[in-house]
Structure 1
Amino acid sequence: MTLAKFSLLIRYITLFMFSSLFVGCASLFDPPDLNSQKAPRKTIGEMYFEPVSLDHAPLPDQGLQNLRDAYTGLLEVISDPETIKIVQYRLADLEILLAEQQQETGNAPLDRDYFDLAIAQYQQILSQHPQQSDNVEVLYQLAKAYDLQGQSEQSLTVINQLLQTYPDSLYVAELQFRRGEILFNRKDYLAAIDAYAKVLEQGQSSNYYMSAAYMSGWAFFKTEDYANALLAFTKLLDHKLPNDVINSQMLRQLRSEQQLEMLPVGEKRIVNDSIRIMAMLFSYRGAEHSLKAFYQQYGERHYENLVYDRLGQQFLNEDRYRDSALVYRAFTEVHPEHNQAPFFAVKQIDAYIIGKFPTLVLPAKQDFVDRYGINGPFWSDWGQLLQNDVKPFLKDYIQELAQYEHSKAQLLLAAADQPSDEQQDDVEVNRQKSTHAYLQAANWYREFIQTFPHDDLTPEITFNMAESLFDAGEFEAAIDAYEAYAYQYLNEPRGAEAGYAAILAFRELRKTLSDPQLQQQWQDEQLASQQQFVNRFANDPRAVDVLYDSMQQQFDLQRYLAAIENAENLLVWQPRIDTTRRLAAQLVIAHSEFALQQYQRAELSYESILASLTPDDARYNDMVERLAASIYKQAEANLAKQYVALAIEDFLRVIEKTPQSSARINAQYDAATYLLEMQDWPKAIELLEDFRVRFASEPLAANIQDKLIFAYQKNQDWLPAANELKQLWQANPETDEGREALYIAAGYYLKADERDLALDSYRTYAHAYPLPFAEVTEARFQMSEFYVQSNEDAKRRFWLKKLILGDAQAGNNRTDRSRYLAAMSSMVFANDKVEAFKKVKLTLPLNKSLKRKRSALDQALDGLNGTLEYKIAEFSTAANFKIAEIYAQLARDLIDSERPNGLSALELEQYDILLEEQAYPFEEQAIDIHEANIQRSWQGIYDRWVKESFAALSKLLPGRYNKVEKMPETNNEIY
């Protein structure tokens, strides 16, 4: 062999080894991945030709046969035993791959079978290397080759050898399954069962779990061990239809169908076949009883419905209709809450129908409705989708059951009404049976209505139910049904018939009652039904009479709203009713509205009636009084709601609309009273003044004067208020009320600018009522003020003396106000004395004039000190200032006094010095008093007289009190 050929051979071998290192662990049915990119082991070239630099560029695919030939050629040139062993292993793998390829393409080799060379290669390896650890792969591939060759016995031998030698091999599950397959084909079912069991022991993660469970079931079936066969198939279903953790029962129920549909086609076929076989096995063991017993023993499964359904269908296919029905019924009994249970019940009914078991069909339908209808135990727990799926069956079944019972009842009643000679003794029995059948029919009609409230057939069903109930003597329930048909459904052909039948049912019901209270109750109900009849079926000739009768009865029973409604309907009835009935309707309306406290409506109604009556009609005055009462009641209702303004309007409308009614007196009085409350003084005054004239003899007129005085006061009509008060005083001068009236009247005269009347009133009060002290003090003060305005000083001082004397004699009644006014009065008299002091001039002879001056000074000081004794700050500061000024004035008057004639200059100078010495103490005293006065500012008192003291000191002591504040200069440079 040339070096080039040898190099090429090495590259082929290297490429194959790179690709085959990862196929040794592949399964029998998975071809090796020749394009794997994983890192290979060291190649032969790397191991033996390290000095040679090989070209590792990718080689073109030369095919399995070329690789096999390359390895064959390689065996001729290598001598290392380990390398020879590796090449032999690879060559055997290539042979089996090549054989599989040829088998797939149908290119059979000459004079031998497909896998002969591969088998020979593996046998040679085992003989040459019996202890090699990799022989597990060799035995696996050898067993595979025998199996593919069709030599199952040889394959089984190798498998047994492999399992014995390598019990922990990764291929245990697959080998046990292959072993079971071979044993099953040999009909060694017990051994096959053992092999499949070992596969199942490997757990559900094994790829052969489903197939092992399936074949195990078949093996048990072959041995007629049906119980274990069922368990085996159950394992398969548990595996492929697992009960996932789902909290919702409905989701669990739906899960089995979803799981089955999601399986791959092959697995779905196996699962369906397993269910089919299980159904067949259960049929062998007693059908539905064995099925129920099996799941009771081994636990419920969420896919049980699939098994039940398959078994039921199987019986149906075999024309075993009763057995099919029993299977479906068994499921509904075991799992009545299952979402498939109602449909299994339908299949049960269908099986009876197909099998022609008519006596079983109706009971089954009745059971279906009882269990899965709207009143059954499961309906409320179902979702809307499931309810909608069940409803079509309910609709058909309920109708059939109802019609059957209704027809049965009619036949029995006919037999009771016209009995034959031989049926005479059965009349009462037939009547009782008829009543029972009518009630049964009514129950089915009722369930239909509850289930299909909006169905097109529901109105007709409702009428049929009413008829059944009426014929059964259940009048109360019949009334409800008749009225439902008559008044809840539109355009039904027998609506009027049903409405009137309801009235007849009321009458029949009342005949059975002896309790007056119940009689009254059902009379009211009947009247309501009659009203409905009239409203709905006005074109019926019976309607107007029913309406008029209802109106009268409802008014008598004080059912005023219903009476009004009927009366109003009568008034607009076409054709128009007669005059007598029209007036009766109007009266019912008006009286009912008044009784219902609908006074505004009653007012309008009574006005309408009055418009149709003449004044000489005997009913006219009564209608006027009722109209006035209606309006007055509106006012009372508004007052109760605190709507005072509206109430006043109502009172005024009584006056306007019914001026001659008895209610007018209270209405006018109340209107005025609440106008005062609303502070509408002018309107209140107008009504009160009119009331005092119009209703002078009425007891209410006694309170008018007080209300007028209050209204005048609030409206600031001071003169009329004062006049009313003075009249009140004149009527009661000795009472406190009269005294207070005079005092207030005096003030109002003053506000009205009626000076003379105010002066007269205050004078009268001040002379007549020395007590209460506070009021007489104010009256005296007002008198003094009148004379201030009129410049009548003497008269003013008369009342000022009264103020001073009154305060002095008040004792415990003395007040701050009386003390203030007394201080003010005292200051007036003190000022008079100060002015008198100022008028005394110091003339020659000085000793005489100074004596007069001194006397005037003492009187002024006495007056001012008297004012200070009241300790009123306002007048104390004034008195102090005046005292200081008196002393200052005396000092100035001394200095400015007239000088004697004939004095020399020196004598005159000495005389002046003497005067200054005499004046100085008075000036100092004035300064001291001013300083004491200004110190009041430290106490927060800074009035006019404190300011005046500051001004006086700035002249008397200018160095201290006439300083000008100097502001320091500011240097802005730093800014």
Structure 2
Amino acid sequence: MSNKNIYARMLALSAFALITQGCSTAPRHEQANLGDWYKAQDESTDAQEKMPVEETETIAEVTPEKSKTEQMQTELDIYKNALNSLDNNEANPALVSTLKTKILAMEIKKADEAYNEAPDQTQVYEPVIRDLRVWLEKNPDHALTQSYKYQLARLLDITGQSTAAEETLTELQQTASTTSKNSEVQFRLAEAAFSQRDYDKAIGHYSNVLKDESSSSSDNRNKAIYMRGWSYLQVNEFKLAAQDFLTLLTNSNFSIDNQQMLDDTYRGFILSINDAGGVQEIPSLVSLDELQPIAMNLYKQLIEFYTSEERWSEVIMAYQAFQDHYPESPQAIEMELELLSFLEKKKQKASLREEKANFIERYADRAPEKTAIFTLELAEYNRAEALEYRKAEDKKQRDLADKSFAKSLEYYEFFLEKFADRPEFAVIKFNYAETQLEAGFIEEARKTLASLDTPAIPEATREKAAYLSITTLNDMIQAMSSNSMDVAKLEEEKYLLAENFVKNHPQHAKASSILSWLMIESFKQDNFKDALEFTAIAQQQFPALEYQATQIRADILFAQENWNEAAQTYEALLVMTPVNAEDAAKPEQKTIWRDNALKAYYQAARQEQNPQAAIALYAQVFDGARNHELAPAALYEAAILASTQEDPVYKDKSIELLKRYIAQYKAGEQLRDAKIKLAEIYVKEENWALAAPLMQSVAGQIDDPSLKRTAVLEVADLYRKGGNATRAIKAYSSFITSADATTPYQDISKARMALIELYYDNGQKTQAYKEMNTFVNQDLNAAEATKETRNAALEYAILLANRQAKAYRRIRLTGNLQASFQRKQAELEKAIDAYKRLERFEGERAKQTVNAGIGDLFAHLSQSLLNAPIPSQLSELEQEEYMMIIEEQAFPFEEKALASHEKNVSELHNGQWSQAIQDSLSTLRQLMPARFDKQEQFEGAITHVE
């Protein structure tokens, strides 16, 4: 055998060894036919169909410095040399066929490697495609024919010959010998259809891949599900698409190593949901139970998707939908909190409050901490909103306050019921009470405040609640009528609350003012025991109240007839300086204290019960120390004491002592009182003439304008009673002129009524009417008007209206009808205005007088027109026509008169009777005798008349 033949056989044996070694492992091509990561890999499970080349094969003598392509070329050269060395006539055909097949496989692999290194150089496959076609044509029945057809389809697809690739795959599908190979073919056909946008066809092929679970690997099945989902999405089969994506995401065999595929699967799922109508359609697309394992991730990615597109309403819906779909899941609370953060970031305040309300309703038991916070926030917001509504001028907005208060109270009540163990419970309960008060639920608020008066409540809150309880009661008392039966009970309750407050909370800023009220109130109620206890507390703990406490203590001692101690206390009070200068007593008050001190000494002397001895004791004071500061008081009190005795001797003694005091103490503190007292004695004796100058003298010495006016008024009354009308008018006029805004309205009205009467009785009626008119106008506009003044004003107004009506009636219609009618009509308007003013008065009398008066005015005008002289120059026919015209003119006035009077007559049915009604009946009898000039019985009138 030649050397050449020996070398050829050695190469062939070496190649055969490599062939048999390479046949033990299946190929794994990294590059799928469409060049995308989600495409299927080549695979073959049948041993006879395995490709004869593996990536891991190594060739001896290959240097590590060479590239992979170079290494593969070196290996390929070995096989080609082995093939060329064989003598075609003598070589084993099986060996030759095997070498050619191996060479073709290596050519494919080398081309794949070159393509991997330069993906844009698809021309590397052209010679391989040519060789594959030749091989397939020559080996139609070869064991690797189907595998190489599959490879041909793959390479055609890579080089852009998709139609040829699809035809090859279709042919392969018809002749595929194994189920697994058929599955691969179906996948490749699906890929081709997808790339050509024939999605329905792609769906069919992907579905064929999935029909037999044993026919393909789990990886290819997952990719088939994935691609079918995208195909369904392309043809708007959103439900089927969503179900495929869900199947893939929840498949335990689905690897998450490929992050891109995982992200795109979620993206396809999200697009399916979005295109189907949004998150609200999820239950109609997939089973919520099946979705639950990935629900949190899906909804969050949905939210990211909507956020990226700034579709804020869908973001909110996604958060809410997750909670609706999985309300009991642990993630529901997380999603709600994220939604709240989102709304807060977007400054959606109204939606944020609404969502917090939903949180409370849904998660109160599962998230108590957040629920407590949100509950308080909503309670406080609604309370603040209600208070703002209360300030609004618009009534509709003010009405909204009640709704906001109701919401606030509802949240407070929920908190108090749910979170009794929280540290801020007491403070919140106090806020709840405040809100109840603001909402007008006073009784409920009082109960709430009372519940805070327990040792378990922190001191600060107890203190605030106690004080608020007092002020609440105080407001209730002020709002009620003073003679209400409930006021006494409330006053008693307030007293007890105030007493406990001072004892339990003396450090409170308002404790001193409450103690001050207690001292005064207990003294007013003659509860001297409590009052003395309160004054002791004030003197010990509240220096600012010592002045007031000493005063009350002195008055109590005086009332208890503890004369010596009372006198000493008053004397101490007279020299005491209060802490607050504004609390200093007025001179009049000091006069009273000084007077009380003297009275205390006097009462000490009165132990003998002998007036004469008492007066003598006073006489010793003012006689023995005429220049002492107590001497004038002693003299004055002696005179006062004498004046209180029934024996005429003492009355004369009193007059004597008072005159002495007046003469002796021109600058005495009691000079004015002495004159007043002497005047009072004269008044009691009805010696008005002597009393008036004394009071006038007193009035002249008064600096205080208010007191001076009061004195002038009394002087005027005295002059009036004494018959000195001129001086009385002057005094009353002076009082009225000097009156200002501080003058009590009752005094002004009293003076003006007296002045009216004096003018009237003195024949000065014009002045009287003028004052009447002023009185009526002032009383109608006076908030301080009383029933007495209003009645007087009504009488004056009626008198003035009747007077104006008389003036109107005095004007007669003459032959010059137009001119005289205008004059009469002008007076008519004045009279109507005078009567109309009566409408401002309350009561039936005013209303009935208006009806009767105005009715008479129009009746008179109607009658005056009818009785007006007929122009003498008219013919008889013209006179008749003239009278017809006059009657037409007079008729409306008669109608107005009837309407006005009939208003009064209608009151008879309501049991009303008055002179005005009687006057209306009289007028109606004249106007409509057929109807009213007869005897009728009116129900309701008899009782009134009786």
TM-score, normalized by the shorter chain, greater than 0.5: no
Return the index of the structure with the highest Cα Rg: 1
Q: With structure 2 as the length reference, what TM-score do the two structures score?
A: 0.42
